[in-house]
Structure 1
Amino acid sequence: MNLIIETDRLLLREMLHDDAEALFEMDNNTKVHKYLWQKPVTTIEEVHAYIDFVRTQYTANNIGRFSTILKETNELIGWTGLKFVNDHIENGNTNFYDYGYRLNEKFWNNGYASEASKAWLDYGFNQMNLQEVNAYTHAQNGASNHVLQKVGFDFIEDYPDEQGVTLKWWQIKKT
């Protein structure tokens, strides 16, 4: 993908295999996975498989999760982005655009998630001409729930996942 989105502090670009070490550092952290079914990665091969999966989404859907880079230091801080969900049913829905992000713990509480979220919503609504974007979070993940609310998502409902964990369903519509 040739898409690059730039904000004041961030560069959002396609995910590459060169990003694997930084993504492994993030996804190996149990604190990062506290609200992600408690399954941190244990091998770099898992990260490479995820990168391959993301890259197939670029081809199939012309969108997917993007590596998120701090411009000042050129550090990969995590991933952010829109994803077309057509491979499973979530809260009774499929074939929808999902917004999501995951940041390395050392970059939490700096406003990066909100900054990237605003950029992605702008891109989705104004370049892709989406009419709505959904998101889902663990009900107890106060930080992520706050970010979604802050950038304009409306809380729709709580629902249980397949393991009975309560998740929150969010939605934002083009204005």
Structure 2
Amino acid sequence: MKPIITTERLIIRELQPDDAAGIFRLDSNPAVHEYLGKSPITTIEEAQNAISFIRKQYETNGIGRWAMVLKDTNEFIGWTGLKLINTEEVNGHRNFYDLGYRLVQEHWRKGYGFEAAKACLDYAFSVMKLEKVYANAEKGNTGSNTILQKLQPVHTESFWDEGVETIWFEFQNNKIGS
């Protein structure tokens, strides 16, 4: 599988059907879903369906979340990437690109989230030529909020999403952190 992005430690590529075991390992963990609605998946079929859904986004929108694997071992450690949000409104926005990432718990606090997020923003601005990218995280999710703040957003604000205080981040071309 040809990488979309490579970093010092990561290969970022399209999700493939054979990533189902990795998606299941990731999304069946309640700790991973602490700030994602607390609804972890319970079957490998749900992981397969998630991959199919994302692969349809590649076809429909030309973009979607990507697999994140370690360069040295080819271990699936999560997903990252951009998603076109065009069917729902989030914080008053519609038709925008959302930056996201999710890591298997054993790989938290190793810098992979920041490394992947920065690479995806670089891709958004240099390859896709986007002017803005957005992200959001529940206020209590200090891990994600730390990563997103380190990327030096040009604007942040709080909003309420389904009764949960959430931080909204706006990133502009040529203005991301190092």
Pick the TM interval, shorter chain. over 0.9
1:150 matched to 2:150: yes
Hey, what does 1:136 align to over in structure 2?
136
Q: Which amino acid aligns with 1:174?
A: N
Worse overlay, 164-173 or 146-155: 146-155
Superposed CA RMSD in Å reads: 1.3
Hey, what does 2:53 align to over in structure 1?
53
For residues 133 and 57 of structure 2, the distance between their equivalents in structure 1, rounded to whole angstroms, comes to 17
Does the 8 Å CA contact 2:3/2:11 hold for their aligned counterparts?
no
For residues 154 and 102 of structure 1, the distance between their equivalents in structure 2, rounded to whole angstroms, comes to 23
For residues 39 and 125 of structure 2, the distance between their equivalents in structure 1, rounded to whole angstroms, comes to 33
For residues 75 and 155 of structure 2, the distance between their equivalents in structure 1, rounded to whole angstroms, comes to 32
For residues 98 and 112 of structure 1, the distance between their equivalents in structure 2, rounded to whole angstroms, comes to 18
For residues 65 and 59 of structure 1, the distance between their equivalents in structure 2, rounded to whole angstroms, comes to 12
1:165 matched to 2:167: no
Matches within 5 A, 1:63-78: 63-78=63-78
Unaligned runs of 5+ in 2: none
Q: Which amino acid aligns with 1:57?
A: Q
Unaligned runs of 5+ in 1: none
Question: Aligned-pair distance for 1:166?
Answer: 1.0
Per-residue Cα deviation, 1:37-73 (whole angstroms, up to 9, x for no partner): 1000011111111111101111111111000000111
Does the 8 Å CA contact 1:138/1:168 hold for their aligned counterparts?
yes
Q: Which amino acid aligns with 1:131?
A: E
For residues 153 and 2 of structure 1, the distance between their equivalents in structure 2, rounded to whole angstroms, comes to 30
User: Relative to structure 1, is the Cα distance of residues 74 and 85 closer, same or farther in structure 2, using a 3 angstrom cutoff?
Assistant: same
Hey, what does 1:88 align to over in structure 2?
88
Question: Aligned-pair distance for 1:111?
Answer: 0.4
User: Relative to structure 1, is the Cα distance of residues 79 and 119 closer, same or farther in structure 2, using a 3 angstrom cutoff?
Assistant: same
TM-score (normalised: structure 1): 0.96
1:113 matched to 2:113: yes
Does the 8 Å CA contact 1:152/1:172 hold for their aligned counterparts?
yes
Worse overlay, 149-158 or 47-56: 149-158
- The aligned length equals 174
Per-residue Cα deviation, 1:19-48 (whole angstroms, up to 9, x for no partner): 000110110101100011100001111111
Question: Aligned-pair distance for 1:155?
Answer: 4.7
Hey, what does 1:22 align to over in structure 2?
22
Hey, what does 1:43 align to over in structure 2?
43
Hey, what does 2:99 align to over in structure 1?
99
TM-score (normalised: structure 2): 0.94
Question: Aligned-pair distance for 1:88?
Answer: 1.0
Question: Aligned-pair distance for 1:157?
Answer: 1.2
